[in-house]
Amino acid sequence: MIKFKLDDVEYKVPDFISIENYVKIYKVKDLFTDEYFAAKIINIVCNAPLESVLQSDYEEVNYIASQIMMNIPIDKPKFIDRFEIDGVKYGFFPNWKDLSFAEFVDLDTISTKKTEELLDLIHILAAIMYRPIISEDGEHNYKIEKYSMDTMKVRSEIFKKKLDIKYVLGAQFFFINYANKYSSYFRLSLIPPMTIWMKLKILWKTRKWILATIFKRPMVGSLSSTKLLETILQNTHTSTKRK
């Protein structure tokens, strides 16, 4: 952890970027010159007074700002299906076939918002996708808590301040890769029209949300959990055949 002093007050650079701080950074990224933006980043993430930062050593400010930005996985964010916060284990919803109507409606409603509105809803989307693990038989084989609007709201506030943005950015590659693999994995003529519409609508709108909330730099990457992706594809295939 990096520490620095301003006016005899010690500040710490956190080892991750929360959803809340990521949104703040994104909103101001085009408003200032690179030099001023560097100072603003330190002000946002470390709660250091902006005026004090602006009066500090140029090289030191740039170094601290660059260290902060390294916590945002711009180039190759990996998809991570589970994490732990305050002793609670959370998992990404494992099977599309188990997606409830309430989950679909909430994802669909939020994903149709304008970019400016979406920025303030990232933590809610994360709380829909990741929920407490209630039982598990393996690293990627687990069951998560049933979806509830009440618990989702509480969880979203926890995620807003304590969830590393890397989990949200990594999710973009899950949806992009899933959409690509899904289209080549099945013959669309064999899938009922309503099933196609529901699945592709979720995939497309969620993809638009994530692409709308990341920095404008080109992003290239792939899933780190190929086995999980293939398992979900197989579950979707089985569910489609059953229907």
- Domain range enclosing 167: 82-242
Q: Is residue 74, in this structure, part of any structural domain at all?
A: no
Q: Is residue 75, in this structure, part of any structural domain at all?
A: no
49 and 117: one domain?
Answer: no
46-to-5, 9, 40, 101 alpha-carbon distances in Å: 11, 12, 10, 40
pLDDT digits (tens, 9 = 90+) for 123-142: 998 999 899 999 998 888 89
Q: Is residue 77, in this structure, part of any structural domain at all?
A: no
How many residues are there in the chain? 243
Would you state the pLDDT for residue 206? 47
194 and 155: one domain?
Answer: yes
Would you state the pLDDT for residue 31? 81
CA distance 164 to 126: 11
CA distance 125 to 107: 7
Which DSSP state fits 226? H
Would you state the pLDDT for residue 9? 94
Q: Which residues of the chain have pLDDT under 50?
A: 183-200, 203-243
Which DSSP state fits 18? B
pLDDT digits (tens, 9 = 90+) for 204-237: 444 444 444 443 333 333 333 444 444 444 444 4
Would you state the pLDDT for residue 168? 87
119 and 178: one domain?
Answer: yes
201 and 134: one domain?
Answer: yes
Which two tokens mark 21? 């701080």
Would you state the pLDDT for residue 30? 77
**What pTM, to 2 d.p., does this model score?**
0.71
